[in-house]
Amino acid sequence: MDQILGNISLLIQFPVVNINIVLQGVLIGAIFVLAAYGLALVWGVMNVKNLAQGDFVIAGGYASWWFNTNLGLPALLGIPLAFAILWGIGWVIYKLVIRRVIERDLFTSLLATFGVGIVMAQSMNLLFSADTQSLRLDYDSLDFFDNLVNLPIAKLVGAITAVSLAIAVIVFMKRSRMGQAIRATAQDARAARVMGIDTEKVYAFTFSLNAAICGAAGAIIVLVWEIQPFFGMGYSIRSFVIVTAAGLGNLPGVIAAGFGIGILEQFGAHIFGISYQQAIAVLLLLMVLIYRLAQQRRNRQVLQ
């Protein structure tokens, strides 16, 4: 308790520390936005809630890490490579599992993807061992306010990559034929089929794209933080927090919520200690759910 009060008073006495925490939160938030955007895409288009989202992220991280340590490829090249590999993995998982659960009730897809997540996490554990891994970019770090605020350039590069990937995906969704087909399918799958859109292809494409986005996010994470086979659940939960808080089909909301949870988590970790980070993410999920529930209850409705 004393420690918590001490941490809070530190924040009040040295306001610059707040800037540092906000900055770290924004940098992490950029990654969360990517994973959550992928989840919102799959959720909106094919009504599948993917609990293996975080495991895709971690798999992308391991793909990038493997290429760097075993083949000596430059670390930044890992991002497009992870994108490509996870595209393939996503496609295989779509064909094997997801295709058969789209039409079923939502609990089925939730449970099936949970199983997929277990298989992925355990396979990674066997293939790459349970140690945490990371790649270090040997960039400097920018310091401000007598070293109270520091901004590692590696993290900045990671965040910029994440943002540019997000922009690329958004432009793709808005402009390309495939993006249009995806949006049409999301609005009304049956009507889209009638109009001659091959919805099966759209679904496969969407799920693979989601996996690929997550893979790229993982490749960024391995550059600036660290990965471990069982870290996936945390990212899945965070994606759910963000999408639930933002509401479906609300892109600005997803971006705002992503940065918001990044910042809140950093403040929480600073105040309560780093070992509470996972707990904070989950508690945020519960708070968001209960808040949304209270909102619905006012209209005598339920969250479904």
Partner 1 sequence: MNKTLLYIALLIISIALPFVFPNYTISLTAMWLLIIVSLTWDMTGGQMGYNSLGNIFFYGTGMYVAAITGISMVYDVGQYTSAAGGGINNFTATQYFSGLGIGAVAAGIFCAISAVILGYLLFGLRGPYFAIGTLGVAIAAGELVSNWEWVGGGQGVSLPVYPGDLDEGKFFFYYLFCTLGIATFIFLKWLYSTRFGAAINAIRDDEEKAEAMGIHTLRYKLVTWSIAAFIVGLAGAFSGYQLIQFEPLETAYQTINLGIFMVVCVLLGGKGTLWGPVIGAILFHVLKEVTWTYFLGWQWVALGALIVVTVVYFQDGLMGWLKHVRPEWFGERVEQKPGSKPSSASQAEAAQ
Q: How far apart are CA 68 and CA 137, in angstroms?
A: 11
Among 1, 12, 71, 126, binds partner 1 (CB under 8 A): 126
Joined together, the tokens standing for residue 275 give 């070992």
Q: CA nearest 257: which of 247, 244, 269, 246?
A: 246
Q: CA nearest 160: which of 205, 101, 223, 211?
A: 223
Joined together, the tokens standing for residue 194 give 């009638």
Q: Is 206 helix (H, G, I), strand (E, B) or coil?
A: helix
Q: CA nearest 203: which of 216, 220, 185?
A: 185
Compute the least distance from the CB of residue 197 to partner 1, in Å.
25
Q: How far apart are CA 189 and CA 293, in angstroms?
A: 28
Among 86, 237, 245, 271, binds partner 1 (CB under 8 A): 237
Q: For partner 1, give the closer residue by CB, 155 or 238.
A: 238
Residue 289 is a binding residue for partner 1 (CB under 8 A)? yes
Residue 97 is a binding residue for partner 1 (CB under 8 A)? yes
Joined together, the tokens standing for residue 262 give 């990044």
Among 102, 189, 217, 233, binds partner 1 (CB under 8 A): 233
Q: Taking contact as CB under 8 A, which single stretch among the options 9-17, 34-42, 94-102, 207-215 is the one that binds partner 1?
A: 94-102
Q: Taking contact as CB under 8 A, which single stretch among the options 104-112, 135-143, 159-167, 263-271 is the one that binds partner 1?
A: 104-112
Q: Which residues bind partner 1 (CB under 8 A)?
A: 49, 97, 100-101, 104-108, 110-112, 114-119, 122-123, 125-126, 233, 237, 240, 244, 273, 275-276, 278-279, 282-283, 285-286, 289-290, 293, 296-297, 302-304
